[in-house]
Chains A and B, each alone.
Chain A
Amino acid sequence: MNKIISLDEFSKQVKDGTKVGIGGFDLHRKPISLVLELSENEQLRDLELFGISLALEADILIGSERAKRIISSYTGLENFGQCYFFRKGVEEGRVVPTEMSTYATILSLQAGALGIEYLPSKTMLHSDMAKNNPLVRIIESEFTGENLSAIRAYNPDIALIHAQEADEEGNVRIANPPATKVDEFLARASKKTFVSVEKISDKIENPNISGLYITGVIHLPGGSAPTSLYPLHDVDSVAMELYGKGSRERDLKYCKEVIRNAIERRREN
């Protein structure tokens, strides 16, 4: 079955209130083009965003008033600044955050991928993040009696991933590292997974993510800029700096312009 679809076909799959799992990690391999497309859909409201560590992709969806909830361990731009649309959204109560540690978000997706209720860990015990958290319960080990955090499975309605290449059947190749494993968890945990790629290839052997878990493939070269796409592309530092400034002034039009230009530049390279 040919899974290659258009950006427009993808866009129609995302409805109000959809739980959107965002692939990549930190400033690496984020599905920026797919997110930009959702940000342009004026009708779309109340998305729930989930990510291991989120950055400008979450900021832009919040700035465009598409997202109401955010589940993540971190939302920022690392050395390039902060996500001010996110920050103001939370401060003003328009966006409701669920606080997680990085490992907890990973375990949440892993449990989702395994089809089990939760995975236990000693992380987040004694942290305020575990209080009133719908994804965390403190439990007692049946074996040792010790306290453990039960990190509840999270299953997004839709996952967005950017990768180097995929074939028609949806088999995905991601050049390591990082976050290849978590993106595989994400694809398996999600009801539908859409992947944007630099290149459509002939049959991919030994894929990082099996086509079994992929709903649609969209050909969008440069689609992770200005975040990195190793080994070919480091973070576009110039664009990240500009985005950081734009976000601080909460100039959405400017921020989107910076992103579009970064995608265009990478496409030409």
Chain B
Amino acid sequence: MRLKSFLIFFLLIFVSSGCKTSPVPSEFQEAEIQEQELWRAGATVYENQDYTLYKQRLKTAQQNLIKEKAKFGWFRDYDSLQEELRSVLAAGDKILKKIQQQKERQSKIIANQVSLLENKINTLKSITVSINERGEARKCLARAEVLLMEVEQLSQKEKYDAVSKRLETVGLYLQRAEQVVLSRLERYTDEAQIRKWKKWVDEAIAESRAKGITALVVNKLDKKLIVYKKGLLQATFDVGLGSNGLSDKLYSGDNATPEGTYKITKKFPTTQYYKALLINYPNEEDKKQFAEAKKAGLLSPRTGIGGDVEIHGGGKDSLTKGCISLENEDMDIVFDLVGVGTPVTIVGAIETNSSIIQALKNL
């Protein structure tokens, strides 16, 4: 009887403890979620070595769990496994933090690059506006802007791997735009050419002073018309040029503005473009250059030298075909200050470090 009771008691204990299973540590599920998080965060890209190690440790823990589960309920002990998992979770947190730090760093680097490229685009855009470049450079800049906006979007989505190739392409577009701009401004960086232009201006001022007359000077790069009276600066006005205004006019239809020393030959109080002052383009030097270009076969025999180059109103932001345009109210002042015979000196630039050239050099 006693033995029977003892056996029943033993059986009860056995059943109650044998069937009762200790719960699997919650860290297990946490670790599985963390592993997914790490992968989504780009652990394979940013911290592959640590992530591989982490996965190995997690796998070992999973295998240990299987082993532990296989044990009879009484002998299951999850304590050491729990400890192991906590350590894995801590390692995972560390990796996640490292990834975030790397991403922040990368994001900052990209933001800096974007900012630099944006500045470059803006500088080049303003130069293209100044020099009336409406062709390839602008196209390249527009494409660069599209790509740069994509870069910003990708950066926000943390798709940094797709960013570098785009930044590279942006760089190439900017390089091309810069080349186009530089080719248009090549003469403006030539010191001998600048000295020549400066000499023309100095001579015009000296003549104004010596003869006590009014003289006009047009600086094409700065887009300024300067009025001198008796050698003294009287007024400065903003002007507009043609689409090819920075080039020296050679033939009819080149949309370039001539460079040289001219005189006002006629004053028109009313024209299509408000008031106008006709200059004596082509002068002897222009004719000589034109003849040489034709002789060298640079121009077709049917090409004309052009003419009717004026200083007129209509607004400084007008695109002329070689003329120099002013705002109407400025034109009123200039018109009254000059007469037929007033010398007009048109130069590219008078200094090598004008704001545009400086901006280009700083790119």
- Do A and B assemble together? no
- By a beta-carbon cutoff of 8 Å, the part of chain A in contact with chain B is none
- By a beta-carbon cutoff of 8 Å, the part of chain B in contact with chain A is none
